[in-house]
Amino acid sequence: MPTHIKKPLTMGEFDLIARYFKRPARRAALGVGDDCALLQPTAGCQLAISSDMLVQGRHFFADVDPHTLGHKALAVNLSDLAACGAKPLAFTLALALPQADASWLAPFSQGLLALADAHDCELIGGDTTQGPLNICITVFGEVPLAAGQSLALLRSGAQPGDDLYVSGTLGDARLALEALRGTFALPAQALARARLRLETPTPRVALGLALRGVASSAIDISDGLVGDLGHILESSAVGAVVNADIATELIAARTRCSSTSAQFDINLQLTQWRTLALAGGDDYELLFTAPARLRDSVLKAAQSSQTRVTCIGQITAVPGLRIQDGHGQLLSNSYASFDHFA
């Protein structure tokens, strides 16, 4: 009998774009297919622009599921818009691929565009080329002006006496990363749950929008809570006190450890749990400050966006970061943030 060998599907650059990424423009005046896209922001709004790059071997493993990678590639950019209180509008995608592989491109584009549709953020252009796998997205959003002043959330507005909040959970993404690296072992179900936080983070866009006019400063946690908080403290010329034990209780995997089921039993020391919460990175939660008098408004923002928020500390006039345990005892601040060149 003759042997039939299935040859890999080959595509040129423009075939690839047309098949997986070109869609009719919705909000944009002109989308994919010309030398430039044309985007018209709403009258009375400023454009918010952010860009993030994901590199294989640095930001994700070679065997990552392409659908989840597509999700994460856009999610980390939407998280920047959330931290600015910006409404997503559109994004561009620059993609380097070792080869035009349909079995990879189909799920990647599906994961990417599903999240884009969920946030009404349309793909309006970009570039493709052959090379080591590299994904670079630039996202565009808008923030309204009120009485000539921008309502954007910035890193520079924190004031002494403000409460310090974080959204969602902490540390689970880093827990998964260390398990995948072989630093320690996790039960299969515990790893599966933690890996979802690593590979499919939830951008807190709705919370960011609800915090406009409430939060005095904000940043998203990409490189670790302590490191990213440092950017707020430096930009605002203030200090902070953080309760490490409250932050540590926000690790979802640690909460599940209290169950009687061995499938979620994780044997880590308290110092290790604290490191995951305070210096884990890849959380993509919002870290923000708000005046104490606006606590009810923060609660309403959390409720309207269906996002959990937790107060983990306060802003102080005294410079520097002090980390305390639940009894008010000072802890050593030896937590380092992620460094892309380390």
Q: What is the pLDDT of residue 30?
A: 79
- Report the C-alpha gap between 153 and 144 in whole angstroms: 11
pLDDT of 280 strictly over 80: yes
* Residue 200 and residue 131 in one domain: no
Q: What is the pLDDT of residue 260?
A: 45
Q: What is the pLDDT of residue 49?
A: 97
Where does a domain end: 99, 125, 150? 150
* Residue 286 and residue 315 in one domain: yes
- Report the C-alpha gap between 51 and 56 in whole angstroms: 17
* Residue 42 and residue 128 in one domain: yes
- Report the C-alpha gap between 14 and 8 in whole angstroms: 18
- Report the C-alpha gap between 46 and 44 in whole angstroms: 7
Q: Give pLDDT tens digits for 28-84.
A: 877 787 888 898 889 999 999 999 999 887 888 778 999 999 999 999 999 999 999
User: Of 153, 311, 331, 159, nearest to 233 (Cα)?
Assistant: 159
pLDDT of 199 strictly over 90: yes
Where does a domain end: 150, 182, 202? 150
* Residue 59 and residue 83 in one domain: yes
- Cβ count within 10 A of residue 331: 16
Residue 273 lies in a domain: yes
Q: What is the pLDDT of residue 265?
A: 66
pLDDT-derived band at 342 (thresholds 50, 70, 90) equals: low
- Cβ count within 10 A of residue 194: 27
Q: Is 150 exposed, middle or buried (0-12, 13-18, 19+ CB in 10 A)?
A: middle
Instruction: Report how many domains make up the chain.
Output: 2
Q: Give pLDDT tens digits for 154-177.
A: 999 999 999 999 999 999 999 999
Residue 338 lies in a domain: no
Mean pLDDT of the chain: 90
Residue 42 lies in a domain: yes
Q: What is the pLDDT of residue 204?
A: 98
Full domain range(s) for residue 300: 163-331
Residue 2 lies in a domain: no
Tell me, what CATH number does 183's domain have?
Answer: 3.90.650.10
* Residue 124 and residue 53 in one domain: yes
* Residue 90 and residue 123 in one domain: yes
Q: What is the pLDDT of residue 1?
A: 36
Higher pLDDT, 157 or 3: 157
The C-alpha angle 275, 279, 163, rounded to 5 degrees, equals 105
* Residue 197 and residue 141 in one domain: no
pLDDT-derived band at 5 (thresholds 50, 70, 90) equals: very low
* Residue 144 and residue 252 in one domain: no
* Residue 17 and residue 109 in one domain: yes
Residue 81 lies in a domain: yes
* Residue 217 and residue 295 in one domain: yes
* Residue 83 and residue 132 in one domain: yes
Higher pLDDT, 142 or 341: 142
Residue 157 lies in a domain: no
Where does a domain end: 129, 150, 171? 150
Residue 48 lies in a domain: yes
- Report the C-alpha gap between 186 and 32 in whole angstroms: 44
Residue 211 lies in a domain: yes
pLDDT of 10 strictly over 50: yes
pLDDT-derived band at 23 (thresholds 50, 70, 90) equals: confident
Tell me, what CATH number does 142's domain have?
Answer: 3.30.1330.10
Q: Give pLDDT tens digits for 173-195.
A: 999 999 999 998 888 888 999 99
* Residue 181 and residue 46 in one domain: no
Which tokens hold the place of 200?
A: 């499919």
